[in-house]
A = this chain, B = another copy of it.
Amino acid sequence: MSTKGGALRLGTGGEFDRLRAIFASLGAAGRGLGDDCALVRIGARTLALSIDLSLEGVHFRTDWLSFREIGWRATAAALSDLAAEGVQPLGVLVSLAVPDHRQRRPGNASPAVQIMSGVGAVARSVGAHVLGGDLTRSSRYLVDVCALGVARRPVRRSGARPGDGVWVTGRLGGAGLALAALLAGRRPPAPVRRRFVRPEPRIAAGAWLARHGARAMIDVSDGLAADAGHLAAASGVRIELALERTPCWPGVTPLAAARSGEEYELLVAFSPRFRERDARAFRRATGLPLTRIGRCLPGRGIRMTDDGRRITPPGGFDHFPGR
Interface size, A (range) = 35 or more
For A9, the chain B residues whose CB sits under 8 A away are 132-135
Q: Are B142 and A110 in contact (CB under 8 A)?
A: no
**Which residues, 76 to 109 on A, are CB-close (under 8 Å) to B?**
90-91, 93-98, 100, 109
Q: Are B132 and A8 in contact (CB under 8 A)?
A: yes
Interface hub of A53, A112, A148 (most chain B Cβ within 10 A): A53
**Which residues, 120 to 177 on A, are CB-close (under 8 Å) to B?**
120, 123, 129-140, 142, 144, 146, 148, 150
Known: A40-B148, A137-B319. 17 other contacts (CB 8 A): A6-B133, A7-B132, A8-B132, A8-B134, A9-B134, A15-B98, A15-B113, A23-B132, A26-B130, A28-B131, A40-B91, A42-B150, A51-B132, A53-B96, A53-B134, A136-B319, A144-B144
Q: Is A43 an interface residue (CB 8 A)?
A: yes
Residues on A lying within 8 angstroms of B by beta carbon are 1, 3, 6-11, 15-16, 18-19, 22-23, 25-28, 37-38, 40, 42-45, 47, 49-53, 55, 58-59, 90-91, 93-98, 100, 109-110, 112-113, 116-117, 119-120, 123, 129-140, 142, 144, 146, 148, 150, 319-320, 323
For A139, the chain B residues whose CB sits under 8 A away are 140
